[in-house]
Structure 1
Amino acid sequence: MVPEATQEQHPVTPAGTAPFLIGDRMTGGYGAADILHDCTVAVEKGEIAVIVGPNGAGKSTAMKAVFGMLNLRSGAVRLDGEDITTLSPQDRVAKGMAFVPQTSNIFTSMTVEENLEMGAFLRRDDIRGTMEQIYDLFPILRDKRRQAAGELSGGQRQQVAVGRALMTQPKVLMLDEPTAGVSPIVMDELFDRIIEVARTGISILMVEQNARQALEIADKGYVLVQGANAYTNTGRALLADPEVRRTFLGG
């Protein structure tokens, strides 16, 4: 039997098993207004955690808070046991975090290959092996590697954006609405590739508007409402919970 989703204000991690990445009880926003209210999101190594909820729930804000793009009034962000709350986004990249925003996430005038090379700007080693791994993951990018990224379809652009983030060899890959504006077929393909990335040991933290499909691939799901945790459980349990289905998944 699938357990019911738990409705909780403060998701609890058992003692001694701190998540690989956690934004712990985060409160903050832009300027004087708080958008997040004691919000917690976390992901384990090699797992997929998905943040879902209605429009305006604070999903992308939670993601940006974890990546250091807004100041927290309270709470903390920890990566592999290290407090990184005060680090800049650039310093978090150096620690092994990669963030793919929903829009403006590629260099449209550059070729596909140049975009991937830009992703490796912090590296001083040979990047060719990683680039081949990206091309194996997204074969269409190998075919179009000399083409300007701005000429690609929406789904292909997203593959470039994810590939560029993976060129940093991250420990955590953060994706903000990776399937926004793409067809259902392309969405399924992107989700399949995201599963492949997680299987290599990279943690995936993802905000998604396509909640039902995202929860189907999620090890852990967070339903946010007005910047606070409404439900937290495995993706499977959230999909099976009648209240979550009725309120957030359309029945």
Structure 2
Amino acid sequence: MSGPFLEATGLRGGYGAADILHGCNLSVEKGRIAVIVGPNGAGKSTAMKAVFGMLPLREGRVMLGGRDITGLTPQARVAAGMGFVPQVRNIFPTMTVEENLEMGGFLRRDDIRPTIEQVYDLFPILGDKRHQAAGELSGGQRQQVAVGRALMTRPQLLMLDEPTAGVSPIVMDELFDRIIEVARTGISILMVEQNARQALEIADTGYVLVQGANRFTDTGAALLADPHVRASFLGG
């Protein structure tokens, strides 16, 4: 396959009669990290939901691995190779860590044990706490469970909505390190982040959205160096 692994073009849609996305374009190369940043209300999470099929589109197209998936349900998109970690309600708090991971593999008909061990290799603390209820973990550990559960589907594209929301700077750095490790295995990453400066530091591609449309698109390093981006979106 040539071209981006994910290519979402001309996304237009919203809730009810009002459009939130106004011709938004997003793409991610194989094994690369793309980050969506922007002010509150810019449509970042809405764009993620549109890519995942949770938001009806009035216009636009979503391609995954060269296949048009615009008409597929979220469940069908998971089967096609997408994994999605929402910002909230992304774990089963009364289930153990391991039961959460097992739930992530519910679509599979093969042996999921090797994938569970891969998740524990990526997040060793989860292996230590595999029999503990996920709701009893720290915020950062719960996010690791959520990412691990999404990885159980063996996605080719992993979508993360605010993965570092509410965690300490140290935990944020650790999560970003693990996200880089996931990308190095060949999985494409599309991520929305409020911690824009730190997210752009690990981004191969960055998108700055404003009012549901692309304002700036470039490499993460170029956006960090752009004085207009710094002044308007990164605090100077």
TM-score (norm 1): 0.93
Other-structure match for 1:147: 132
CA displacement, residues 206-235 of structure 1 (integer Å, 9 cap, x when unaligned): 000000000000000000000000000000
Which residue number in structure 2 is paired with residue 169 of structure 1?
154
**Cα separation, 2, equivalents of 1:179 and 1:242:** 25
Match of 1:133? 118
Which SS does the other structure have where 1:205 is aligned?
strand
- Aligned equivalents of 1:82 and 1:137: distance in 2? 30
Q: Which residue of 2 aligns with 1:97?
A: 82
Q: Cα RMSD over matched residues?
A: 0.8
- Distance in 2, matches of 1:96 and 1:75, equals 20
2:104 to 102, 108, 119: 119
Amino acid at match of 2:184: R
Whether 1:53 and 2:35 are equivalent positions in the alignment is: no
Cα 1:241–1:183, aligned 2, differ >3 Å: closer, same or farther?
same
Aligned residue in 2 for 1:182: 167
Q: CA deviation at 1:180?
A: 0.1
Mapped partners of 1:191, 1:90: distance in 2: 27
Match of 1:236 in 2: 221
Give the distance between the partners of 1:155 and 1:246, measured in 2 at CA: 30
> CA offset at residue 191 of structure 1?
0.1
Distance in 2 (alpha carbons) for counterparts of 1:31 and 1:131: 40
Residue 208 of structure 2: which of 223, 226, 230 is its match?
223
The one-letter amino acid paired with 1:231 is F
Q: What is the letter of the counterpart of residue 45 of structure 2?
A: S
Tell me the number of residue pairs that the alignment of Structure 1 and Structure 2 aligns: 236
How far is 1:19 from its partner?
A: 1.1
Give the TM-score taking structure 2 as reference length: 0.99
Q: SS of the counterpart of 1:69?
A: coil
Name the counterpart of 2:195.
210
Paired residue type of 2:54: M
**Structure 1 segments of 4+ aligned residues over 4 angstroms from their partners:** none
Query: Offset of 1:17 from its aligned partner?
Result: 4.7
Q: Secondary structure at the match of 1:230?
A: strand
For 2:94, the equivalent position in structure 1 comes to: 109
Letter in 1 for 2:197: R
- The one-letter code sitting in structure 2 at the alignment partner of 1:164 is R
